[in-house]
Amino acid sequence: MSKADVIVGVQWGDEGKGKIVDLLSGGYDMVCRCQGGHNAGHTIVVEGKKIALHQVPSGILHKNIINIIGNGVVLCPAEIIEELKQFGDVSGRLFISDKAHLNLPYHAQIDQAKEKAKGAHAIGTTGKGIGPAYSDKISRSGHRVGELKNPEKLCDAIMADFEANKAFLDVLGVKAPAREELLGELKSYEAALGKFIVDTTHMVWEAIDADKKILLEGAQGTLLDIDHGTYPFVTSSNTVTAGSCSGIGLSPKNVGEVIGIIKAYTTRVGNGAFPTEDMGEDGEKIRDIGREYGATTGRPRRTGWFDAVGVRYAARLDGVDKFALMKLDVLDGFKKVKICKAYEKNGKIIEYFPSDLEGVKPVYEELEGWDKVEGARKFEDLPANAKAFIKRIEEITGVKVGIVSTSPEREDTIVR
């Protein structure tokens, strides 16, 4: 019996998971997406061409790999239909769990209306309906992907939902669709996606039992976990390694190697605490060089220095065996680079990640910068100061950096 390896984001998401999944997935038989929705965005660069993935697992770029969208995902049918157009016929190599939940257009309407109502206290969601879809799931009033196979029955159920929640929806300004319009929409989803919808739990079990190599692909990042992240400024699913088990239907005993993805600096989208955020020239420079704009929304990401305290906390939650350090080349040319090695809170130095980050200030260690790592493919080719930066990350976090990315290109990667 084989074990499933896990790729997990160890910061606030956007760490560069797509490149690593794409890089490693060639050695796997199956790649599984376990949670999140189309608020996630993985950008992969192959031979200079950018490919943005939102719901489709990154293994889709390899024609011999089975790709699974697991039960922990909230699926937006319209978006995945559009996304799949760039890959041609994927029959026989993409499967969607019948237990995944539907994220339909009214979920996005609710999401946007609630964010608008919160004003200055908005969470800063993508407005894609992820939170409301998960809310319906948890309140046991949601609808599963498998229900698409009976559009008439699903349509009646959704129309009944609108009637039961009319008062709430009226306040938000969300109107019920016309029944025939909704039915037509659901039928179009079934026609396009019906052949992909199966019981993926048993598919994954059969693959494990047959000693197939499986890779579980996380979305977002650990510090956005609904339980362990910077609540309430988090996503609506469990983004930690354990969440990948429940999101695909595996036992923790089935988990093999855990690869944690980190960037050489830190970014965050939306509102919420961000101890190492740099609002000055350095932060702006990092954003511009790193092209730190959302793959899903296009909005600028908040940027700052590497937070080793948060990464150490997340790595412990995830059981990370090794790091993949992404975007080291973005720091090329900086005279000094910083690592946050501790926090100051209420006048005291702390080396742990507190549940409440209010009032937390970073305690930095400043290191000498380097000229250029871009394009390096061997560790010995890295400048001495870049090696020292990597070593210091390893020392503070207690986790080895096993992979180093030196450009967006698939080949510009160092495996130690």
Which residues sit in the known binding site? Answer: 13-19, 39-43, 126, 140, 220, 235, 295-301, 327-329, 405-407
The answer to whether 341 and 309 have CB atoms below 8 angstroms apart is yes
Q: What does the alpha-carbon distance between residue 2 and residue 151 come to, in Å, rounded to a whole number?
A: 38
Q: What does the alpha-carbon distance between residue 104 and residue 154 come to, in Å, rounded to a whole number?
A: 12
Residue 62 exposed, middle or buried by CB count within 10 Å (0-12, 13-18, 19+): middle
Instruction: Compute φ and ψ for 252, nearest 5 degrees.
Output: -55, -25
Q: What does the alpha-carbon distance between residue 157 and residue 302 come to, in Å, rounded to a whole number?
A: 41
In the annotated binding site for GTP, the residues are 13-19, 41-43, 301, 327-329, 405-407
Instruction: Compute φ and ψ for 395, nearest 5 degrees.
Output: -65, -45
In the annotated binding site for Mg(2+), the residues are 14, 41
Neighbours of 165 (CB within 10 A): 16
Q: What does the alpha-carbon distance between residue 281 and residue 278 come to, in Å, rounded to a whole number?
A: 8
Catalytic residues: 14, 42, 137
Cα–Cα distances in angstroms (integers) from residue 353 to residues 264, 300, 316, in the given order: 19, 26, 11
Strand partners for 217: 7, 33
